[in-house]
Structure 1
Amino acid sequence: MKKTLIALAVLGAAAGVAHAQSNVTIYGIVDTGFIKKSGHDVEMGENVNNRLGFRGVEDLGSGMKATFELEHRFDLNNGTQKGKTAAGKDREFDGAANVGLKGDAWGAVRLGRVNELTTETIRKFDPFYQYGVGAMLEGNQRSPRIDNTIRYDSPNWSGFHFGASYSLGGNTDSESIDGYMVDVKDAGADNDGYGIMLGYDNGPLALVGNWSRLADSKDSSVWNLGAAYRFGPAKVELVYQQTKDKGWANGEQADWQKVGSWNNGRVVNEYQGVDELKEKQWLLGLEWKLGPGRLNASAQWMEVEASGGQHVSDKDIYKYAIGYTYDLSKRTAIYGNVAYTDYDDKEVAAVYGDTDDGTYGVQVGITHKF
């Protein structure tokens, strides 16, 4: 934590110097509240991720700009930093950490740690933005941010835009292989990552399509489609997503592949030795500007198929969520969200971190953005 404070102090001092040559913005979010979930005591937790960020742009002339972004993520309730690498090292900047170039005519290129295209774009079609108890169900191998990546984003042509990314996997060269990558290589999980996105957002209609594969994920992949239509104060959203989850994400084995790791060490026989989960998912969402805030609601259905172990199973999950965000100002809001998830059984519930086949979640809190 001392290293983090020193790094942030240096960046703060440097921002004053850099401002004469480039435009540096300091921004952040502080969010906390109370969460009660089935099988858990009341706890304090966030809805939107807490962060402190630095974003800079330097005008290079002729429509060209240099850009950078550094974003520190932290737990507001105890002051600790978030995030570890696949090798178990603490991250000073668990959010964005990249540098790049941007052109008015050709788009933007960033290198380093960036948002994953698939996650960034499809979450905009979830009324809860994949945050908190009401969030869209996600596969184990999805990642909001990805390392060692080059990402391209096109300009916007009357609403049309596209993006692509390429991510390097960990070092598996026999002469210098990193320790934690030995297991990844032995399991055949070492691979580079790719992502492509095509989107449209103009007037009342928004559309997006994605395909991606995370680095060091045993070639796990996901593709999804999203559509939204705005009419008056309301927006209706529809998402379809298919995920092939082979049990690895950025060099780390998924909990559901580790025998006896579910539910604080309780062995679940149904999924021991499973090689792959296939998930097919629908989400119908509604956002409605109501009074000084916004009503959010969603209904989800997911079909989960496990294969490769002693059992091949096909399970269903239904999730329903509703919430309201009340804007006290342009920067400060209070919120309340309620969700209920209906699993086929406790075994499939454990895959998604829950303890019972019928799980509820209640969340209230406050968010301030600066």
Structure 2
Amino acid sequence: MYRRIALAAPFLIAGSGAFAQSSVTMSGYLDAGVYRDSAGTWNVGPIQRSNIAFSGVEDLGNGLAATFMLSHRFETDTGENESSNKPYFHGESTVGLKGGFGSIRLGRALDAMYGQDWQFDPWGYFDRVASPAWDLWHYNYPSDPFANRGGPDYGRINNGVFYDSPTYEGFSIHLSTAARENTRTSGFAPAEAMPLNSGTSTQPYGVSLNYNKGPFAAMVAHERNSVGNTDTFIGLKGSLGNLTAMAAWDRSVAGTSTARTVTAGLQYTIGPAMLRGGWGKVVVDGTRVEQVIGAGANYFLSKRTSLYVDLARKNYVTKNSTVYGVGMAHSF
């Protein structure tokens, strides 16, 4: 899945006469498809997400290593940046250290909750047509309300500090926070017009406790962003043979608005094919504003290349819509 473009390049450690091993890896994911969206419009472009990333590790000795990650997300149908209001390295731009203590990174990246929740959705929280999570999770919660040139980011935080613990008996802890150097508390509304707690500036934080061992996985996470909105997430997953079942519950609060989401899903593997199914709904302040029933199938031509088809029925307050699409994805 990765292509190493610089192998074991030696760099002299000043004053020591010793050499450290350093490598840089280029990787990416290319996705393009044809799909009909909820407005009834036909589109050509990524149904999932396309990115190219450069990551590096330098062995500093004594079990310590330096790391970096740069990830650029783009539209495969035009080659342009994913969105004009997002930074070039929208996916991630971090530098850090890792060792026996775990890993710590500084920069822009997925927060503690978004960095772990993907495993509780049949599409890996990565499909705009059929994934219930894509539409419903964290409905009232931008991780950083001002991360994208003053606009919100649902997943990533700027000026961040990220910690991932070692795994012990299947358990791990993930933490995130951010400096408040660019925090604004008024004069802005998120793209989805979700309310903010205006007039206050709070220290953002995120914490996720995860269990992954054998056929079982579980997660409990809680976060607060820089304007005081909060999100609590619980996920469960289990596998039996070729069948994997999962479910998630999410509660996000923005000002006086509370959104509650429930999702459930299945994955079933048959040879080189994977079948997916999912259901979910979100209730905002007592009103069900959306329900999603999705289905899909992937056929893996190789470990890196797959063809897929997706279908979903989305029921809103005032309309219903059927969305569907076919696509191809290649990882490297």
Please report the TM-score for the alignment, with normalisation by the length of structure 2: 0.83
Report the alpha carbon displacement of residue 316 of structure 1 after superposing the two structures with TM. 4.9
Residue 196 of structure 1 contacts residue 210 of structure 1 at CA under 8 Å; is this kept in 2?
A: yes
Residue 242 and residue 186 in structure 1: after superposition, are their counterparts in 2 closer, same or farther (change >3 A)?
Answer: closer
Out of 245, 253, 257, the residue aligned to residue 277 of structure 1 is: 257
Q: What is the CA–CA distance in structure 2 between the aligned matches of 1:211 and 1:144, rounded to whole Å? A: 13
Report the alpha carbon displacement of residue 19 of structure 1 after superposing the two structures with TM. 3.5
More strand by share: 2
Report the alpha carbon displacement of residue 47 of structure 1 after superposing the two structures with TM. 2.5
Give 3-state SS (helix, strand or coil) of 1:19's partner: strand
Across the two proteins, how many residue pairs are aligned to each other? Answer: 295
Residue 140 of structure 2 contacts residue 258 of structure 2 at CA under 8 Å; is this kept in 1?
A: no
The residue number in structure 1 matching 2:27 is: 27
> Equivalent pairs: percent with the same residue?
29
The residue number in structure 2 matching 1:349 is: none
Superposed, 1:74-153 pairs within 5 Å as 74-83=74-83, 88=85, 91-103=87-99, 105-130=100-125, 131-135=127-131, 136=133, 137-138=136-137, 139-142=139-142, 143-153=154-164
Q: What is the CA–CA distance in structure 2 between the aligned matches of 1:117 and 1:83, rounded to whole Å? A: 23
Out of 55-64 and 33-42, give the one that drifted further. Answer: 33-42
Report the alpha carbon displacement of residue 16 of structure 1 after superposing the two structures with TM. 5.1
Q: What is the CA–CA distance in structure 1 between the aligned matches of 2:258 and 2:185, rounded to whole Å? A: 25
Report the alpha carbon displacement of residue 367 of structure 1 after superposing the two structures with TM. 0.2
Report the alpha carbon displacement of residue 170 of structure 1 after superposing the two structures with TM. 4.1
Residue 195 and residue 140 in structure 1: after superposition, are their counterparts in 2 closer, same or farther (change >3 A)?
Answer: same
Report the alpha carbon displacement of residue 38 of structure 1 after superposing the two structures with TM. 3.5
Amino acid across the alignment from 1:114: A
Q: After superposition, what is the alpha-carbon deviation per residue over 1:233-268, rounded to whole angstroms, capped at 9, x for unaligned?
A: 11100101111134xxxxxxxxxxxxxxxxxxxxxx
Q: What is the CA–CA distance in structure 1 between the aligned matches of 2:279 and 2:249, rounded to whole Å? A: 12
Give 3-state SS (helix, strand or coil) of 2:119's partner: helix
Residue 103 of structure 2 contacts residue 163 of structure 2 at CA under 8 Å; is this kept in 1?
A: yes
Report the alpha carbon displacement of residue 158 of structure 1 after superposing the two structures with TM. 1.7
Report the alpha carbon displacement of residue 140 of structure 1 after superposing the two structures with TM. 4.7
Residue 25 and residue 277 in structure 1: after superposition, are their counterparts in 2 closer, same or farther (change >3 A)?
Answer: same
Report the alpha carbon displacement of residue 194 of structure 1 after superposing the two structures with TM. 0.4
What are the ranges of 5 or more consecutive residues in structure 1 without an aligned counterpart?
Answer: 1-14, 173-179, 247-275, 306-312, 347-356
Report the alpha carbon displacement of residue 203 of structure 1 after superposing the two structures with TM. 0.8
Q: What is the CA–CA distance in structure 1 between the aligned matches of 2:197 and 2:245, rounded to whole Å? A: 46
Give 3-state SS (helix, strand or coil) of 1:124's partner: helix
Amino acid across the alignment from 1:212: E
The answer to whether structure 1 residue 188 and structure 2 residue 199 are counterparts is yes
Amino acid across the alignment from 2:23: N
Report the alpha carbon displacement of residue 121 of structure 1 after superposing the two structures with TM. 1.3
Residue 185 of structure 2 contacts residue 199 of structure 2 at CA under 8 Å; is this kept in 1?
A: no
Report the alpha carbon displacement of residue 209 of structure 1 after superposing the two structures with TM. 0.6
Residue 170 of structure 1 contacts residue 181 of structure 1 at CA under 8 Å; is this kept in 2?
A: no
Report the alpha carbon displacement of residue 17 of structure 1 after superposing the two structures with TM. 10
Report the alpha carbon displacement of residue 46 of structure 1 after superposing the two structures with TM. 1.1
Residue 293 of structure 1 contacts residue 325 of structure 1 at CA under 8 Å; is this kept in 2?
A: yes
Residue 132 of structure 1 contacts residue 363 of structure 1 at CA under 8 Å; is this kept in 2?
A: no
Superposed, 1:163-242 pairs within 5 Å as 163-171=174-182, 183=187, 187-188=198-199, 190-215=201-226, 218-242=227-251
Q: What is the CA–CA distance in structure 1 between the aligned matches of 2:7 and 2:235, rounded to whole Å? A: 43
Q: What is the CA–CA distance in structure 1 between the aligned matches of 2:50 and 2:44, rounded to whole Å? A: 13
Q: What is the CA–CA distance in structure 1 between the aligned matches of 2:182 and 2:270, rounded to whole Å? A: 51
The residue number in structure 1 matching 2:37 is: 37
Q: What is the CA–CA distance in structure 2 between the aligned matches of 1:232 and 1:187, rounded to whole Å? A: 50
Residue 152 of structure 1 contacts residue 164 of structure 1 at CA under 8 Å; is this kept in 2?
A: yes
Residue 337 of structure 1 contacts residue 364 of structure 1 at CA under 8 Å; is this kept in 2?
A: yes
Residue 140 of structure 2 contacts residue 252 of structure 2 at CA under 8 Å; is this kept in 1?
A: no
Q: After superposition, what is the alpha-carbon deviation per residue over 1:270-319, rounded to whole angstroms, capped at 9, x for unaligned?
A: xxxxxx431111111101112312111011122111xxxxxxx6335321
Q: What is the CA–CA distance in structure 2 between the aligned matches of 1:16 and 1:316, rounded to whole Å? A: 50
Report the alpha carbon displacement of residue 120 of structure 1 after superposing the two structures with TM. 2.1
Amino acid across the alignment from 1:23: S
Give the root-mean-square deviation of aligned CA atoms.
Answer: 2.2
The residue number in structure 2 matching 1:175 is: none
Residue 53 and residue 128 in structure 1: after superposition, are their counterparts in 2 closer, same or farther (change >3 A)?
Answer: same
The answer to whether structure 1 residue 294 and structure 2 residue 274 are counterparts is yes
Amino acid across the alignment from 1:122: D
Residue 83 of structure 1 contacts residue 94 of structure 1 at CA under 8 Å; is this kept in 2?
A: no
Q: After superposition, what is the alpha-carbon deviation per residue over 1:326-370, rounded to whole angstroms, capped at 9, x for unaligned?
A: 100000001101011122x22xxxxxxxxxx21221021000001
Give 3-state SS (helix, strand or coil) of 1:118's partner: coil
Residue 171 of structure 1 contacts residue 181 of structure 1 at CA under 8 Å; is this kept in 2?
A: no
Q: What is the CA–CA distance in structure 1 between the aligned matches of 2:242 and 2:38, rounded to whole Å? A: 34
Superposed, 1:347-366 pairs within 5 Å as 357-366=319-328
The answer to whether structure 1 residue 323 and structure 2 residue 319 are counterparts is no
Please report the TM-score for the alignment, with normalisation by the length of structure 1: 0.75
Q: What is the CA–CA distance in structure 2 between the aligned matches of 1:111 and 1:161, rounded to whole Å? A: 19
Report the alpha carbon displacement of residue 45 of structure 1 after superposing the two structures with TM. 2.3
What are the ranges of 5 or more consecutive residues in structure 2 without an aligned counterpart?
Answer: 12-21, 143-153, 189-195
Out of 51-60 and 283-292, give the one that drifted further. Answer: 283-292
Residue 197 of structure 2 contacts residue 229 of structure 2 at CA under 8 Å; is this kept in 1?
A: no
